[in-house]
């Protein structure tokens, strides 16, 4: 299995050109990566490298604006978005961790757009559209990897209203602390990450932190808790974190999500049909998202309950 920065690499050219032999090999690589790493890197993915570079450049220009300018893009109080769209800090009111800008599909009308730099709004919308297309493709590959009936995942996850994209700036490390985002697992279906040359993203594999090094034009993919539960633990929602360096780090994360009303539980293909018991009980996705938010302000007794989807484990 080819590797760059220690992550499996998948060339998506065969999937875009209908090369059946290449599709079979690529699907095998994705299947194995989801079992072992939960992460892989895609190249030749159809998202223009120029667009990725422009998004990072304009994002850096936005975050370099004075705080009072960025404050104009704070979430609208009346927004009905699944989570606040616009500018914020993490943790709230902090100046030494990271700051972010959340963007939804522009057709939904949730976004609060920056007016500077020029063209940033158009870049954000173009990125969102291209990464949505990539999400649909990766979802089809996962459908095949999981041995599900054709089109199952696309029918199950057919509402794009909860997808969102986050642009982030991580502040430089301090002498006391260098964690930009503590270890966690993503609660959604699929996440895409592209980043500048600073690096800092790390994936936990076999007890060791593996750097997901920046590679120009590539996009890092990881599967989240929804896919792990549907596969009854056969595919891995990997633990990962961001370690801050001595300079600012800029990145984008796109969350290919599930609608909040959907029910999530292990599929028969991974339980009854192969004689295995479910490892998770059924839950509504919105309920799980609310639990994750609550865990941040009211941490559970066991730290692992914050990081992993243990609340619904059987």
Catalytic amino acids? 249
Answer for the pair 213, 203: CB distance below 8 angstroms, yes or no. Answer: no
Residue with tokens 């007794």: 301
The Cα–Cα gap between 283 and 291 comes to 11
Q: DSSP assignment, residue 147?
A: T
Secondary structure of residue 39 in the 3-state scheme: strand
Helix, strand, coil abundance in the chain, percent, nearest 5: 35, 25, 40
As beta bridge partners, residue 90 has: 98
Nearest Cα neighbor of 39 from 266, 193, 197 is 193
Backbone region of residue 93 per phi and psi (left: phi > 0; alpha: psi in -120 to 50; beta: other values): left
Pairing outcome for strands 39-43 and 7-11: parallel
Helix (H) or strand (E) run with residue 228 in it: helix 225-230
Tokens read off for 16: 């875009």
């Amino acid at each position: 299995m080819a590797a760059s920065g220690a992550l499996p690499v998948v060339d998506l050219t065969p999937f875009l050109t209908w090369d059946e032999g290449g599709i079979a090999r690529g699907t095998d690589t994705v299947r194995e990566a989801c079992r072992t790493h939960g992460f892989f890197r895609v190249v030749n993915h159809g998202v223009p490298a120029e667009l990725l570079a422009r998004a990072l450049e304009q994002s850096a220009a936005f975050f370099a604006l004075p705080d009072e300018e960025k404050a104009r893009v704070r979430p609208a109080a009346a927004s009905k978005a699944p989570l606040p769209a616009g500018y914020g800090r993490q943790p709230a009111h902090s100046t030494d961790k990271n700051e972010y800008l959340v963007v939804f599909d522009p057709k939904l009308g949730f976004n609060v757009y920056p007016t500077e730099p020029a063209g940033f709004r158009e870049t954000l919308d173009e990125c969102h559209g291209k990464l949505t297309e990539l999400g649909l493709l990766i979802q089809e590959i996962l459908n095949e990897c999981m041995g599900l009936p054709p089109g199952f995942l696309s029918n199950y996850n057919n509402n794009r209203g909860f997808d969102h994209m986050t642009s982030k700036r991580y502040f430089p490390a301090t002498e006391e602390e260098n964690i930009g985002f503590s270890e966690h697992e993503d609660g959604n279906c699929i996440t895409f990450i592209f980043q500048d040359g600073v690096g800092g993203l790390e994936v936990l594999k076999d007890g060791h932190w593996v750097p997901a090094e920046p590679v120009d034009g590539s996009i890092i993919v990881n599967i989240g808790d929804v896919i792990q539960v549907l596969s009854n633990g056969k595919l891995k929602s990997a633990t990962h974190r961001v370690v801050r360096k001595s300079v600012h780090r800029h990145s984008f994360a796109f969350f290919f999500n599930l609608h909040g009303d959907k029910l999530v539980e292990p599929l028969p293909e991974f339980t009854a049909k192969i004689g295995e018991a479910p490892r998770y009980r059924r839950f509504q996705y919105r309920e799980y998202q609310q639990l994750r938010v609550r865990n941040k302000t009211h941490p559970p007794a066991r730290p692992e309950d914050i990081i992993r989807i243990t609340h619904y484990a059987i």
